[in-house]
Structure 1
Amino acid sequence: MQQIGKNQLSILIIIFLIGSTPLFELGIKAKQDAWIAMTVAAAAGLLLTVMYIRIQKRAPEAGLAELYMMHFGKWIGGAVGLIHACWFAYESMRNVRDVGELTMMGLLTLTPKWIVMLLILSVSAYTVSKGLEVFVRIVQLLFPVAALSYLFVILLLLISRLPDISRLQPVLENGIAPVMKAAFPDLLSFPFGQMITMLVFWKYVHEKKIIGRVSYWSQAGVSLFLILMNMLIMSVLGPELSSLSALPLLEVVQLIRLANILERLDVIVTLLLFIGLYVKMTALYMASVFTFSAVTGIPYRHCVMPIALVIYASSFLEANNTYHIWIGLDVTLKIVPLLQVALPLLMLAVGIRKKYKDAKIAV
């Protein structure tokens, strides 16, 4: 059986949750209070993770599919597991499409989109076929690159004196309502609600007792980082420009000018974009394969290519990038709480009821 250590779990959670999130100004509906919306969603996301950990502790050796079948029965639980496997594949497809669109917009404008998506998905499929341990080792190698790149960007922004704290004011100009509307369900669903993916991987952690502590601290660290990046982007661009830009962090980095020598740092943002999208895409793809395999009993390596074909084919269903973004931010984020919040709550309630009934029988 594949196993990963606590440090590997921590790094996987950090890179997975960060993904490409800092490149965008999430919660922009709250304007200059976007960072407050991010803070509220992060706190709610930690509560969600507490619920996921409680469920996982009932059967530490079980993955998400096994937990569904344990709580809802073989047939209903299996059907729900298949639905969730399809959803993981769908989320992975969104990242594949993002790579294609963003590569065409910013890098290889003359390269056909289908080639870019085929290449990145092929790399992801090869990684998935090698298993979780290999994937986590790759994430470990990418972690220092991503961490140093983000640190470098933040330092350059501060040295350039581009951030202006006045752009974050007035605080709560329109009250708390816009903040709550921006935080729920959108920011809770993405990125914090995606922690449910870890229910697939926690069973492979060697030291089961430390899963909760490592997950909480990793998620808390990511939350603080995302809030900081949100504030930085807003303090440089302001709410108007942030809302108009497709990639606000790219716009921010393009403003850096130091001694007429250090400029045009787009390559750093591009590097961060590909690292984040690759890790998130592969983790969701692997979660889909593992979940489908657990429900059907088919060896997971036999599921890799069929699911890859489904992901690749479905990445062409959306006509253009505008429609792709609309589906992702205005439709998907309204549906996904059913899987991230409603079903786990139902599992939690079913588990408590089963324990109560067992206790009554014992008495």
Structure 2
Amino acid sequence: MEKAKISVIQLFSLLFLFEMGSALVVSYGINAKKDAWLAILLAMCGGIILSFIYYFLFRQYPNLPLTGYARKILGKYVGWIVGLLYVVFFLYGASRNVRDFGDLLLSSTMSETPLLALNILFVLAICYVLYLGIEVLGRTAEVFIVILILFGIVGNFFVYLSGNVDLNNLKPFLENGWKPILMTVPITTFFPFGEIVAFTMLLPYLNRHELVKKVWLSSVISSGLILSYTTSLDIAVLGVEATERATFPLLSTIGKVNLFEFIQRLDALVVFSFLITMFFKTSIFLYSTVIGIVDLFKLKNHQQIIFPIGLILIFLSMTNASDFSEHVEEGLEIIMYPLYIPLFVIIPLFMLLVAMIRNGFKKKNRNNET
């Protein structure tokens, strides 16, 4: 791992931007219909539980990334395979985010631009920042989280000023009962809250390990509240049916703003917000991939493999689905449970139990010796 340190504020910024990701602009939690906001809040609680699992693992081995302590806990060979599984998942997650970014730009502003060209430029920018190191990425996140918040304030101001918000679209509460909400919660928990497992590769860089829990909880809660609010706003402006149909409902919501036939076409706010969140989410996934490969294969530094991995990332982003609808179906129906449950819940929980039992025996033996 590179000799670098990131501050608490930088870690919070990275976590917050990561969790926003594509969830900010897609129909997040809409399977729960008008109660999508409640499904997201319950998913946030699930995200807090997952955070504690990852946090307690980190506390057992505060100076090692996930690929490192997997070998410590599960043994040299099994742990290496488990670490490789996570590395492959991080790379796959990065490729899905690159595809999301390219498809939104194609559908909103650059319809004549080849998808490949957009993806290449996006990945090259990410590779350049990661080549400079995690500290540069952390400092960049500090700046862009402020810009994202300003975009959010301006966008909300104009949406409310335009008079398009109808809170009746959110009524009645629990119209379809609890079943659709509870069916939606696992999906909204794993995406995006479960994906913060990628940060188990970055936590050793934090300069104040004792504040990890506070930073992690505050980022999960703040992002969960904002995602819940954003989905509610989409439904209040568009109605639940239009929100379900829309590929990127936030884009449609802000597109309805038209004040005095002068202030309109504010789609750029959403596109720029999406660019910011996806840049950092993809960067974290790609950096976790690179650090995992460096750790598993005992390489000297991360810089030598960033651009080759970037080329693989571009290839995967173009080939993981033939079109956007297939891309979404793959994410929500095909890989959700077979991939996410083992990687986000079963393996981390099993490693935590083994680590706690093993460390408990070590402490007991030390006490007996003294």
SS of equivalent residue, structure 1 residue 316: helix
Please identify, of 96-105 and 245-254, the stretch whose mean Cα deviation from structure 2 is larger: 96-105
Write the distance in 1 (CA, Å) between the matches of 2:104 and 2:176. 34
What are structure 2's unaligned runs of at least 5 residues? none
Match for residue 25 of structure 1?
27
Matched, 1:353 2:357: yes
Map 1:1-363 → 2, pairs under 5 A: 1-184=3-186, 186-298=187-299, 299-317=301-319, 318-334=321-337, 335-359=339-363, 361-362=365-366, 363=368
Please report the TM-score for the alignment, with normalisation by the length of structure 2.
0.94
Quote the offset at 1:86 in angstroms.
0.9
Write the distance in 2 (CA, Å) between the matches of 1:332 and 1:236. 32
The code of the aligned residue for 1:329 comes to L
Quote the offset at 1:349 in angstroms.
1.1
Write the distance in 2 (CA, Å) between the matches of 1:316 and 1:5. 35
Q: Deviations over 1:36-93 (max 9, x none)?
A: 1101100110111011111101111111111211211111111111111111001000
Write the distance in 2 (CA, Å) between the matches of 1:100 and 1:8. 27
Write the distance in 2 (CA, Å) between the matches of 1:310 and 1:240. 38
Q: Is the 8 A contact 1:20 1:272 kept in 2?
A: no
Write the distance in 2 (CA, Å) between the matches of 1:207 and 1:260. 51
Quote the offset at 1:133 in angstroms.
0.5
Quote the offset at 1:359 in angstroms.
4.9
Give the % identical residues: 26
Q: Deviations over 1:162-207 (max 9, x none)?
A: 22221111211222111010111x1111111111111111100001
The code of the aligned residue for 1:354 comes to R
Write the distance in 1 (CA, Å) between the matches of 2:359 and 2:269. 52
Write the distance in 1 (CA, Å) between the matches of 2:16 and 2:298. 31
Q: Is the 8 A contact 1:62 1:203 kept in 2?
A: yes
Write the distance in 2 (CA, Å) between the matches of 1:301 and 1:170. 54
The code of the aligned residue for 1:279 comes to F
Write the distance in 1 (CA, Å) between the matches of 2:343 and 2:40. 21
Write the distance in 2 (CA, Å) between the matches of 1:346 and 1:303. 31
**Number of aligned positions between the proteins:** 362
SS of equivalent residue, structure 1 residue 282: helix
Write the distance in 2 (CA, Å) between the matches of 1:305 and 1:33. 43
Q: Is the 8 A contact 2:9 2:142 kept in 1?
A: no
Write the distance in 2 (CA, Å) between the matches of 1:32 and 1:116. 35
Cα 1:356/1:140, change in 2 over 3 Å:
closer
Quote the offset at 1:360 in angstroms.
5.2
Please report the TM-score for the alignment, with normalisation by the length of structure 1.
0.96
Instruction: Give the CA RMSD over aligned residues.
Output: 1.4
Q: Is the 8 A contact 2:17 2:277 kept in 1?
A: yes
